[in-house]
Chain A
Amino acid sequence: MNNESLTNRQGISIVTNFIMGSSVLIGNARGAKQDAWISILFGIIMAIPAILIYARLTQLYPGKSLYDILEYILGKILGKIASLLFIWYFFHLGALVIRNITEFIQVVSFPETPQFFVALFIGLLLIYTLKKDIGVLVRVIEFILPLLIIMFISTMLLAIPKMNLENMEPLLYNGWKPVLKGGFDLFSFPFAETVIFLTLFHTIEENKSSPYKIYFLGLFLGGLILTLATIRNILILGPSNISNLYFPSNTAIGIINIGNFLSRIEVVVSITFLVSCYTKMSICLFATSMGISKLFNLKDYKQIVSPITLLMICLSFVLYNSVMEMYEFNKYYTYYAIPFQILFPILILIVGRIRKKPIQSSQITNNNEN
């Protein structure tokens, strides 16, 4: 994204795809059972303040990525330390998503194939994508998102005969507590993970694109897809089945059978998962490489993409021993991510206000002219 800028439409597509990412895959708010869809709505509402902060930061420091902002506000040494924390978070997040997708492929499609084999090809694809610049990925996603939405809607429609409205009842049987807890989980995974876009959205078209519009529409569209997917899963499988399954969407779509002719179409869902997880992995890898290249003052992030991808794959191997551990870790992830998603952005905003004036657009134009 060096010489080109991001349009509104591209921004919205990539945020939507990022939010769909691994959360459609592994299901959400399991504790809330039949009320999981209400949890998602709460999650969206909770995410609005966070997204306002991210959009405000993008607007206050146009043309500066998260790492530049940190160095500009906190000074060289403190800025680099803070950058290092964010680099770790994005790196870890990327490894988590790689692990999610390799577990998914092993559990659902290829039980006999070792995970390292799948990870090898994912790694190659990621290296190739980022070597060709993140702009290519953004354009691909812009093109492919409508197709994914069409696929999603068609699976929803085909699943109607298998839906049972009684599965949604009784509403709020366990009270508000699990619903709110589920909302909080959803806030940190996936909605507030959009903090990662602070490393990308400095390239949005000035005067034409608005970070607020991109973040809000992306959040609402991604949230809507998550809500619909969860409602579909609850209606087809019922709350008790959902909490026992590792990948509920896949099973729900696998049940579809239209006249013994159209059946086993879960591959359609797999395509959606793979594309959206691929987006999420690429963005995480981009953010990490960008961070490390800024940390060492390198010319281009593309120079060090390959070793970072391999290191990320290594981390994804050592993270957990089994798929059960992966779900166990998700409970703690919510709290672990809060500093990166909320505390640090708020601190940046406040310290930026106290220490330095925000950069005005005219200043950048003057600098460029000089």
Chain B
Amino acid sequence: MVMIALYSLLYVFLIFVDLIPLYKNKEYKPLWIYTIIMAFSYIILVLIGIGIKIPSPAPIIIKLVSSITGI
């Protein structure tokens, strides 16, 4: 919970510093990309914060490498 609260503060801060100026300058393309990546990362952070296990890319890479090199 502490994690979610702390990171939420950071997100709010970044919205004021970054996102609102983008909206005011009518730069809609970066605004959309910014919002999508931001929302995605926030969802992952909240999921980690409430204790849900997110699949890591490491085992996939290990499987891929060992299937090719046979380690």
Contact = CB atoms under 8 A, between A and B. Distances in A.
Interface in B14-71: 14, 17-18, 22, 27, 29-30, 33-34, 37-38, 40-42, 44-45, 48, 54-58, 61-62, 64-66, 68-69, 71
Contact of B22 (A124, A303, A336): A303
B61 A336 contact: yes
B56 A319 contact: yes
A35 B34 CA distance: 48
A311 B45 CA distance: 9
Contacts of B71: 331-332, 335
Task: Choose among A296, A307, A325, A329 the residue with the greatest number of B CB atoms under 10 Å from its CB.
Answer: A307
Contacts of B62: 329, 332
A335 B65 contact: yes
Contacts of A116: 3, 6-7, 48
A120 B30 contact: no
Interface residues of B, number: 35
A298 interface: yes
A329 B40 CA distance: 26
Contacts of A325: 58
A311 B54 CA distance: 13
A114 B40 CA distance: 22
B61 A332 contact: yes
A320 B53 CA distance: 11
Nearest to A120: B6
Contact of A306 (B18, B48, B58, B69): B18
Interface string A115-126: 011001001100
A298 B40 contact: no
A298 B30 contact: yes
A114 B5 CA distance: 14
Contacts of B40: 311
A317 interface: yes
Nearest to B6: A120
Contacts of B45: 310, 314, 317
Given A117-B6, A303-B34, A306-B14, A329 B41 contact: no
B56 A320 contact: yes
B18 A296 contact: no
A329 B58 contact: yes
A115 B31 CA distance: 30
B56 to A, nearest CB: 5
Contacts of A172: none
A233 to B, nearest CB: 27
Contacts of B65: 332, 335-336
A124 B71 CA distance: 39
Contacts of B58: 319-320, 325, 329
A310 B38 contact: yes
A304 interface: yes
A262 interface: no
A54 B65 CA distance: 25
Contact of B57 (A92, A124, A304, A307): A92
Task: Choose among A124, A304, A306, A320 the residue with the greatest number of B CB atoms under 10 Å from its CB.
Answer: A306
A299 B26 CA distance: 13
A311 B69 CA distance: 30
A320 B58 CA distance: 7
B69 A335 contact: yes
A292 interface: yes
5 contacts: A120-B6, A307-B14, A307-B34, A332-B65, A332-B66
Q: Which 3 A-B pairs have the closest CB atoms?
A: A307-B37, A310-B41, A307-B38
